[in-house]
Amino acid sequence: MVAIQKGVSDPGRVIILTAHIDSRVTDVMNATADAPGADDNGSGVALLIETARVLSHYKFPATIVYGVLSGEKQGLYGGKVLAQYAHDQGWRVEADLNNDIVGGDRGQNGVIDNTRIRLFSESTRETELAREAKQRRYEGGELDGPSRNTARYIKALAEYWIPKWRVDLIYRVDRFGRGSDHEAFNALGDPAVCFRESAEDYRHQHQDVRTENGVAYGDTIDHVDFEHLARVTATNAIAAAAMAWAPPPPDGLKVAGGVTPDTKLSWQPPADAQASGLAGCRVYWRDTTEAAWSHSRWVGNAAEAMLPGVVIDDWAFGVASVSKDGFESPVEYPGPQGAFWPAPEAAEEKK
C-alpha cells in the first residue's frame, strides 16, 4: 500500500519512507497462527501513518512516498516491488528511510534505554563497479556512500530538534543474520537506511505467542513503548521534511588539488526546475577518521569552491545544497562513491 505526496516543483525527486505490514510467528510459513506483530512491524507501520498525517499538512518541492510493504518476511517482496517501480518510473530516489522494529526499549539483556535509536547504513554502494572500487580503495570514501551521509544527516537533525535523544549510527547494512526492505533499494544502487530499536528482546519477535517456564513469548502490544515510538516517528518526520524542503544534493561533484597546498571542489548546480528555491552551497570537510562533518564554509551560489591552505590528502570533503529558507540537503561526498545519483554513463554500465 503506497501513498504519494507529490512534490510541487521537483516531483521526480523522491524521499521514500517504508515499513512492512506482514507478520509471522516462529514458522515463517505458518499463515494461520495468531501473529500480532506489534513491534515487528506494527511499530513501523504506525510510525509511517503518523508521519503521513503530520507531513500531509505541508507542501514540499520534492515528493514523499509512504510505502507499507508486504512479504518482507518471505523475501523483501514489497521492498523489491517498490524499488523496481521507482526505477521503472524514472524517480530520482534521494533516500529510503526504512523502519523495522522501532517501538521497544527493553532489551533481552535487561537494558532499558528510551534515549536512543539505531540507524543502520551500508558503507559502499552495492552496485559499485570494480574500477570505482579500485579508485575508492586508494583515495577513500568507503565511509561516505550516500546511504551513510543520509544517516549522518538524520542524526544531526534529530539530535538538534529532539531533546535528550541520540541516533546511533551503525556502519552496517543491518544486524547480523537479519535484513529488511531497505536492502531492496540498496540492491538497485539507491541510498537507503534502516531504523532499529536500540534494545531488542528476541523473545518478542516472530515467536509463537505462549508462556514457557514463566517467560512470555510473542510480539504483543504490551512490549511497545509509545513515547519512545513517538520520538522515532519525529526523527523520521524531521528528516523526510528537511530533505523534501531542501534542494537536491549537487550533481557531478569532484575534488581536485593533488600535489598543491589547496583543495578545489566543483559540481553542477541543480537545474532551476529542480531547485527553484536554491540559495547556494555549503562545503564541508572533516578529518578522515572523524565520524561527523566538523568544518564547513558557505560558498554562495557557485559551481566551485577553493579552500586555500586546506590540503586534499588530509581531509574528507563534501558539499550540501541549501535553500533560501535554510533547508539543507545531505552532504554529498565527491566521486561515484559519494554520488546520490550515479552519472548516466556509469548507470548504463551497471546494467
Residues at the contact surface with Zn ion, assessed by CB under 5 A: 40-41, 100
* Distance, CA of 54 to CA of 56 (rounded, Å): 6
SS (H, E, C) 22-47: CCCCCCCCCCCCCCCCHHHHHHHHHH
Nearest to Zn ion of 40, 174 (CB atom)? 40
Is the distance from CB of 234 to CB of 226 less than 8 angstroms? Answer: no
Nearest to Zn ion of 94, 100 (CB atom)? 100
Nearest to Zn ion of 217, 333 (CB atom)? 217
* Distance, CA of 296 to CA of 310 (rounded, Å): 12
Nearest to Zn ion of 20, 148 (CB atom)? 20
**C-alpha pair distances (Å), 26 with each of 165, 209, 283:** 33, 9, 50
Q: How far is the CB of 170 from Zn ion (least distance, A)?
A: 16
Q: How far is the CB of 180 from Zn ion (least distance, A)?
A: 6
Q: How far is the CB of 289 from Zn ion (least distance, A)?
A: 34
Query: Dihedral angle at the C-alpha atoms of 128, 134, 140, 141, nearest 10 degrees?
Result: -10
Q: How far is the CB of 80 from Zn ion (least distance, A)?
A: 15
**C-alpha pair distances (Å), 230 with each of 102, 103, 114, 116, 244:** 10, 9, 11, 12, 21
CB atoms inside a 10 Å sphere around CB 206: 18
Nearest to Zn ion of 217, 267 (CB atom)? 217
Nearest to Zn ion of 136, 204 (CB atom)? 204
Q: How far is the CB of 146 from Zn ion (least distance, A)?
A: 24
DSSP 206-259: S--SEEETTEEES--GGG--HHHHHHHHHHHHHHHHHHHHSPPPPEEEEEE-TT
Beta bridge partners of 19: 68
The residues, any chain, with a CB within 8 Å of residue 7's CB and separated by 6 or more, are 13, 14, 60, 61, 62, 63, 64, 244
Q: How far is the CB of 205 from Zn ion (least distance, A)?
A: 8
Nearest to Zn ion of 100, 225 (CB atom)? 100
Q: How far is the CB of 21 from Zn ion (least distance, A)?
A: 10
Q: How far is the CB of 71 from Zn ion (least distance, A)?
A: 11
Nearest to Zn ion of 144, 219 (CB atom)? 219
246 is written with which cell numbers?
Answer: 531542501
Nearest to Zn ion of 100, 190 (CB atom)? 100
Is residue 85 within a helix (H) or strand (E), and if so which, with residue range? Answer: helix 77-88
Q: How far is the CB of 189 from Zn ion (least distance, A)?
A: 23
Nearest alpha-carbon partner for 307 in 267, 266, 263, 265: 263
**Cα Rg of the chain, angstroms:** 21
